[in-house]
Chain A
């Protein structure tokens, strides 16, 4: 039995239509590829924001970011001590060692306020992300 016959038996599609179907599939594949190429630069455009940790404080304590958009937060710890960036509202948690930088992606967020804190110094290390 030929491969074509096997295929039409297995799929229940006649060869003539199968050809058309394949062509369609190929075309849609090209579409998907094109979309991927188009969306790649969009990925690179993720806005980057910086927050500093200085003497167990977050600077700036309030940071405004665009709502509805994924954002990369760079958390730069200038202290000698490690700190844990934590936020229940943002669902984020990351330890940033002393004198080092850690990144977290946040969002897309609805407009509103999202508090965060440093788990190792929860009384002083408090901050807020404002999405608008």
Chain B
């Protein structure tokens, strides 16, 4: 029971963090929330399809299909979040939209569906594939409901917390968090590629598990927010650092060009 609460809570929390920030920031730049139901529906459908084909996906790429798919999804979400982030930076500076409205809505739809697809597939695999075979659907369902309830409450809390801020500060906070979250996602993608022996294996550069264990609540929070790893390899540190650097450079660039056009 406890384990099903925790598993579902983890997945729901990761998705809710993204969804609440995207909802709050999109309304701060003057978009309505009509994209959300469509995104949730496509995300759910995507999750079920992915879970149904999961076994076949796993067998692809010499048994490393899971790793390839996971990394591709994480990279995809990180890139979409990056573009969204640039739109936020542009709005902060110019109070205008960087991309036309339909494109922005499409961006939100794709990001949330991809995130839902990834987290939803894990829930489906656990709840359905495991639950049915282990004959413990009832326990998983009640535990999962509690986990999902907590996760959705936390997400709602974050959303209203962000909305309570002035729109410009809401965008600033959202932009910082999204920068960190997307670098964390790229880091996680690189971890899976190491697991599949696509990226070279290395000795860890440090071990900070005595400070913050990945197993602790703070560790889990840092994981969801920053992609925290207690024992990263030099390559992973480099990948994390360069994705942060690239994102910040692009943000500075957009900020500057937006300012220049304004002064003309």
Pairs A–B under 8 Å by Cβ, sample size 13: A72-B197, A79-B133, A80-B133, A94-B195, A95-B54, A95-B58, A95-B122, A95-B125, A102-B66, A105-B196, A105-B201, A108-B201, A119-B126
Residues of A within 8 A of B14 (CB): none
Task: Enumerate chain A interface residues (CB-CB to B < 8 A).
Answer: 68, 70, 72, 79-84, 88-89, 91-95, 97-98, 100-105, 107-110, 119-123
Given A91-B231, A108-B202, answer yes or no on A123-B3 (Cβ-Cβ < 8 Å): yes
Main SS of chain B's interface residues?
helix
Closest CB pairs A-B (n = 3): A88-B214, A81-B133, A105-B197
Q: Which residue of chain B is the closest to A114 with respect to CB atoms?
A: B231
Residues of B within 8 A of A107 (CB): 201
Total contacts A to B, CB within 8 angstroms?
80
Residues of B within 8 A of A103 (CB): 63-64
Q: B63, A88: Cβ atoms under 8 Å?
A: no
How many residues from B make CB contacts under 8 Å with A?
34
Distance (whole angstroms) from the CB of B224 to the closest CB of chain A: 14
Q: A97, B195: Cβ atoms under 8 Å?
A: no
Q: B63, A101: Cβ atoms under 8 Å?
A: yes
- Which of B133, B194, B230 sits near A105, CB closer than 8 Å? B194
- Which of B129, B213, B219 sits near A97, CB closer than 8 Å? B129
Distance (whole angstroms) from the CB of B150 to the closest CB of chain A: 18
